[in-house]
Amino acid sequence: MNLKEKNILITGGSMGIGLATARACLQQGGNVLICARNLSGVEEAVAQLKEEGHSQVFGLAADVSNEKDVEMLFDELEKKFGPVTSVIHAAGVYGPIGPISSVNPEDWFDGIRINLFGSFLIARHSCLRFKKNGGGRLVLFSGGGAASPFPNYTSYACSKAAIVRLCETAAQEMAPYNIEINCVGPGFVITRLHQKTLEAAAVAGAEFVEKTKTEISRGGVPAEIGANAAAFLISDDAAGINGKFIAAPYDSWKDFPKRLKELKGSDLFTLRRIVPKDRGMSWQ
């Protein structure tokens, strides 16, 4: 893929998947602005990327659930590099852990505010800029709970499932403006979020705690897999791919350009309700 002349905003870019995504975009020639809420973390990430030989990168502190901060990010990116062409939204939190009967409602809603409302703000302002600039590509990161239940993580799961539907819906709305929007599930990447599972212990659920320990011992899914999928989806190679929910470790996304005829107008790689006929039953 080639990202030269692409001016790219990456949220949550100071660590984990976001940082890996910034690196992948820089390696392909993109101009990158990373952001996160913690300024020192952003500065450390920018310094690290520059030490690796990437000069076309800078960073800012911002809260993606604050609209003024989001507007500021787009303004600063365009001042530095020119019209924004691409956005990858990797910022997110786990939210409170525990059964629905015991989590604090305000903490629960705060997870929704950051994950879902933050995704909405990033998507909205991306589309406003893209419409002015003749088009663009946006990638949102989904995650656990989007495609299957995630007990004891309802705030996270609900927000991530909603992000997929936000992607699918906004993609249809924005298609006439040469704007393409897709969503990536990165798999079980070992990040700071999993430390919260270990700290939560019993309230996280014994099964998921053991799964987390096992995945950590194995090293999990490399962050680079989701990062490369996101970088691919903002490249010109991905033209025509729109409104899809891609599981980066499992789906053959590199071959999608060969499958545009099958992808367009189909419900492949989307969230849909299962009815009896989908399982070979005839009672409805």
- pLDDT per position as a tens digit, 93-114: 999 999 999 999 999 999 999 9
Q: Return the C-alpha torsion angle 8, 10, 241, 148, nearest 10.
A: 180
**Where exactly are the structural domains of the chain?**
7-248
What pLDDT does residue 61 have?
A: 98
Q: How far apart are CA 43 and CA 57, in angstroms?
A: 11
Q: Do residues 31 and 84 make contact, with C-beta atoms less than 8 angstroms apart?
A: no
Q: What is the mean pLDDT of residues 240-251?
A: 97
pLDDT band at 143, cuts 50/70/90? confident
Q: What is the mean pLDDT of residues 185-214?
A: 89
Mean pLDDT of the chain: 95
Q: What is the mean pLDDT of residues 228-232?
A: 98
**Quick one: tokens of 198?**
């270990």
Residue 54 in 3-state DSSP? coil
Counting residues of the chain whose pLDDT is more than 90, the rounded percentage is: 90
pLDDT band at 193, cuts 50/70/90? confident
What pLDDT does residue 31 have?
A: 98
What does CATH list as the number for 7-248? 3.40.50.720
Residue 185 in 3-state DSSP? strand
Q: How far apart are CA 220 and CA 187, in angstroms?
A: 8
Q: How far apart are CA 81 and CA 212, in angstroms?
A: 40
Residue range 37-88, pLDDT digits in tens: 999 999 999 999 999 999 999 999 999 999 999 999 999 999 999 999 999 9
What pLDDT does residue 226 have?
A: 97
| Cα distances (angstroms) measured from residue 61 to each of 39, 75, 90, 137 | 5, 14, 14, 23
What pLDDT does residue 25 have?
A: 98
Task: State pTM to two decimals.
Answer: 0.96
Q: How far apart are CA 195 and CA 47, in angstroms?
A: 25
The closest of 17, 41, 84, 170 to 73, measured between CA atoms, is: 84
Q: What is the mean pLDDT of residues 137-158?
A: 94
pLDDT band at 201, cuts 50/70/90? confident
pLDDT band at 145, cuts 50/70/90? confident
Q: How far apart are CA 21 and CA 18, in angstroms?
A: 5
Q: Do residues 29 and 235 make contact, with C-beta atoms less than 8 angstroms apart?
A: no
What pLDDT does residue 1 have?
A: 81
| Cα distances (angstroms) measured from residue 156 to each of 144, 145, 201, 234 | 8, 7, 17, 25
Q: How far apart are CA 253 and CA 186, in angstroms?
A: 12
